[in-house]
């Protein structure tokens, strides 16, 4: 799908589709309407995401493109695809887990400790591996 090319500005290895931000696509004769849900209200990357979607679809198709934001239901980490979770882990970010089993993405050790509930972005927490001593982000569940 063409929208796999549009990535999260803060996590460039993760497409908006795999992140679960793109909720719906409607195509009519001369229009494409894309509905997106931000990972959290007030996400500073929303405007850039919208611009990137519009630019790509306008370039690829001869249609008017609109992007609508839908806040309800609120975005959930449950919407991240398995492919997206693997991309996060391979990039060095531990994907959300409901089991509480947080692994170091560098050495895969379970011996980790939280440094801060707040990481490089609001949706991440900062951890450190007790085995390899490397810090890493954990994508918080919500």
pLDDT digits (tens, 9 = 90+) for 93-140: 999 998 889 999 999 999 999 999 988 877 899 999 999 999 999 999
Q: Give the span between the Cα atoms of 109 and 112, in whole angstroms.
A: 7
pLDDT digits (tens, 9 = 90+) for 31-70: 999 999 998 888 888 999 999 999 999 999 989 999 999 9
Q: Give the span between the Cα atoms of 76 and 21, in whole angstroms.
A: 9
Domain boundary assignment for the chain = 2-69, 92-139
CATH-assigned architecture of domain 2-69: 2-Layer Sandwich (3.30)
Q: What is the mean pLDDT of residues 75-81?
A: 95
pLDDT for 40 equals 83
Q: Give the span between the Cα atoms of 122 and 39, in whole angstroms.
A: 10
């Amino acid at each position: 799908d063409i929208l796999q090319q549009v990535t999260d500005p803060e996590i460039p290895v993760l497409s908006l589709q795999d992140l679960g931000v793109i909720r719906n696509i409607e195509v009519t004769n001369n229009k494409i309407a894309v509905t997106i849900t931000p990972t959290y209200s007030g996400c500073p990357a929303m405007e850039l995401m919208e611009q990137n979607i519009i630019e790509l679809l306008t370039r690829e198709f001869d249609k008017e493109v609109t992007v609508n934001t839908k806040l309800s239901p609120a975005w959930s980490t449950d919407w991240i695809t398995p492919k997206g979770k693997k991309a996060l882990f391979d990039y060095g970010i531990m994907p959300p887990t409901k089991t509480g089993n947080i692994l170091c993405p560098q050495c895969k050790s379970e011996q980790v400790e939280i440094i801060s509930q707040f990481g490089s972005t609001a949706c991440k927490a900062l951890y450190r591996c007790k085995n390899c001593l490397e810090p890493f982000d954990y994508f918080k569940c919500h």
